Amino acid sequence: MANTLQLNHCNQGILMSMYNATSMPIATWSKTHRKIAPISSNSPVMALNNSNIDYKKGVKYLVDNSKNMKMVPLEFVLPIPEGERPSLAIDGCIPVIDLSGFNGPVEQRLSTIHAISSACALWGFFRVTNHGIKVSLMDGMLKVVEDFFNLPLEEKMRYGSDDVMDPVRYGTSLTTTRKHALHWRDFLRHYGGLIPHTYHLWPDNPPTYRDVAKEYLKEVWQLAVIIFGAISEGLGLDPDYIESSLGDEGTQLIISNYYPACPEPNKTLGLAPHSDHGGLTIVMDNGIRGMQIKRNQTWCSVPSIPGTFVVNVGDYLEVLSNGKYKSVEHRAIVNAEAARISIAVGHGPEMDAIVQPASPLIKEKSESKYRPIVYKDYIRAQQSTIKRGKSALDEIMNN
């Protein structure tokens, strides 16, 4: 059949247990958990920690300007128990859905909708094939993103910001305060084509960035609309219900991540466990795997397959479905051999929209599992908390 739902099971014997990133202060954690051998004053890690490096310049800058780095600077060391360290040896397993079923007979279309609904309910993650976006456009987007991160630091710092609501933002960790361990990544984040008045703020270097990103984001939005329609029908709603709930000017955010090769990949993370705040996130990468999802209290690596997208449910969709569909914690791990690039495009409602369960799914107010919240307030709460995982979503759940 054209539409398929492949449910390969992970090897439970080798999967790691859940890592709960609490972002505890490094000093506190070091005293209570970490056994550190004496470090000489001329060792690479000591030199880095005494050099007053401005970490807002990014991890790539740190790596490029530190010759023969052998150890991860202490600021990036995360409190991961020895038995739960990241490992690329774990094979991943998420449903694979062939979207060509939407172009077939009614039975195929309904089967594809059922596959998407099941994936959202049981996994929160799935991979899509035959999605209609040209591989050449995907490769072009990866190329301009790579070129951006290879620009001189001063060019990238034109977009440096700590404000999570800025329309264009270049940075490193979600927080650059040294009270918390930093992530081994740099990122470029900006609004997509659904908010056209920000287009002139997008990077103008590389020279082709704006044109390529505009075309790519248009195509990804069209893909999101198709998937949103299937999810709506899977919930028993009108096909355009979720798209309409986003408002006249929904929010599309692109987050391009650059994870440099890391000398000690088992001591840090590219991104700590978290869920996404929007409705759907559509992700591709440069062929270097590094995404891990939490399933049944274990961590499972998601393979990188060129020409496909990984799609995941966000918090907005969990709330709208009143908990039928679940956003899933995921994290990014790093490796010692090569830099990884991932491009995630999130789709959510207007910033002033009220995040709450869909009214047709709630017969009585007492049935709502979540308290209403303004979307932009939810984003601020999620991005500013020192806790990760799904702590922000937990805060708006009705007891």
On average, the pLDDT of the chain sits at 82
| Residue 25 maps to a domain | no
| Residue 381 maps to a domain | yes
Give yes or no for residue 37 having a pLDDT over 50: no
Give yes or no for residue 324 having a pLDDT over 90: yes
pLDDT of residue 82: 66
Count of structural domains, the chain: 1
Token representation of residue 46: 């000591």
Indicate the pLDDT class of residue 6, thresholds 50, 70 and 90: very low
| Residue 302 maps to a domain | yes
- Tell me the residue range of the domain where 123 lies: 67-81+88-395
| Residue 217 maps to a domain | yes
The more confident residue out of 39 and 300 is 300
Give the CATH number for residue 351. 2.60.120.330
**Mean pLDDT confidence for 128-150:** 98
Give yes or no for residue 21 having a pLDDT over 60: no
| Residue 4 maps to a domain | no
The more confident residue out of 63 and 11 is 63
pLDDT of residue 68: 81
| Residue 283 maps to a domain | yes
pLDDT of residue 180: 58
Give yes or no for residue 10 having a pLDDT over 50: no
Give yes or no for residue 42 having a pLDDT over 60: no
pLDDT of residue 32: 31
pLDDT of residue 315: 93
User: Over the stretch 55-110, which tens digit does the pLDDT of each residue have?
Assistant: 778 899 999 988 788 999 888 888 776 666 676 446 667 999 999 999 899 999 99
| Residue 22 maps to a domain | no
| Residue 115 maps to a domain | yes
Give yes or no for residue 175 having a pLDDT over 60: no
Pairwise CA distance, residues 396 & 390, whole Å: 11
Pairwise CA distance, residues 241 & 247, whole Å: 11
Tokens 């006249």 appear where?
248
- pTM attached to this predicted model: 0.83
**Mean pLDDT confidence for 329-350:** 95
User: Over the stretch 233-261, which tens digit does the pLDDT of each residue have?
Assistant: 999 999 999 999 999 878 999 999 999 99
Q: Give percent of the chain with pLDDT exceeding 70.
A: 79
42-51, 120-129, 320-329, 340-349 — which is least confidently predicted?
42-51
**Mean pLDDT confidence for 338-355:** 95
pLDDT of residue 35: 32
Token representation of residue 220: 């990804």
